[in-house]
Amino acid sequence: MIQISALPAFTDNYIWLLQDHHNRRCAVVDPGDAAPVLAWLAEHPEWVLSDILVTHHHHDHVGGVERLKKATGATVYGPASENIPGRDVALNDNDRVTVLGWEFDVYAVPGHTLGHIAYYHHGRLFCGDTLFAAGCGRLFEGTPEQMHHSLSRLAGLPEDTLVYCTHEYTLSNLRFAVAVEPNNPDIADRLEKVSQLRDSGRMTLPSTLALEKLTNPFLRTGETSVKQKADERNGRDNRGPSEVFAALRAWKDTF
């Protein structure tokens, strides 16, 4: 069995740590900073870092990769179409890799960046900055249509899938979700619970896809209430879900 835990980095990043207790080998996802990982390894000298999974090229996700690779000899996996430091295995859509005995399906999820990928294994999704708890990533490189399609692909995974994104943005995302759907009781309930978690210094991740479908406005672009609010915001009839998504994303960027 693989244990998954989070190593906090910077102000709001999580580096996901996967531990194979049988073989005392571990892997990390998106190590933007090597220091938290090296500190953990120093505290657990019996463990070996064997693999590094990268979702996209932004510095807060790859900044620690080369130092970790040099220190441990770990194999680095990352998107084929992006410049990933130290990458050993270049991954494309629908590829499959085995890490710590787990088979991961690779999904191309452009939007936040053009080459962004996600890793999925039987109910566990490592999605970087594509899908957030109650939100989604900014469109630094891709189009609204690309991001909407990427989110729709991820939303098609089983509803009990655990969502391991890379930032603690849940509280601010839910405040926006309330603005989009002020009468959604699931959002109100989640906001209350997340507020309590953050007040006590606890993390809000992982989420589940089922919860995201109830409370994440970017996965609810087909809902009449969401469309009406998007239409109201930009003063036009957003004819399809991707247009609704574009209106929501533009609103969130200045929220």
Which residues are known to be catalytic?
A: 56, 58, 60-61, 112, 129, 167
Rounded to 5°, the CA angle 228-232-238 comes to 60
Alpha helices in 156-240 (DSSP H): 170-180, 185-199, 209-215, 224-234
d(CA 123, CA 158): 7
Closest to 108 (Cα-Cα) out of 82, 133, 132, 136 = 82
Cross-strand partners of 125: 120, 163
Residue 121: left if φ>0, alpha if ψ -120 to 50, beta else—which one? Answer: beta
Show the CA angle centred on residue 93, arms to residues 164 and 243, nearest 5°.
75
Q: What DSSP designation does 167 have?
A: B
Q: Residue 245 belongs to what H/E stretch? A: helix 241-253
Report helix, strand or coil for 192.
Answer: helix
Does residue 42 contact residue 61 with C-beta atoms inside 8 Å?
Answer: no
Structure tokens at 139: 């469109």
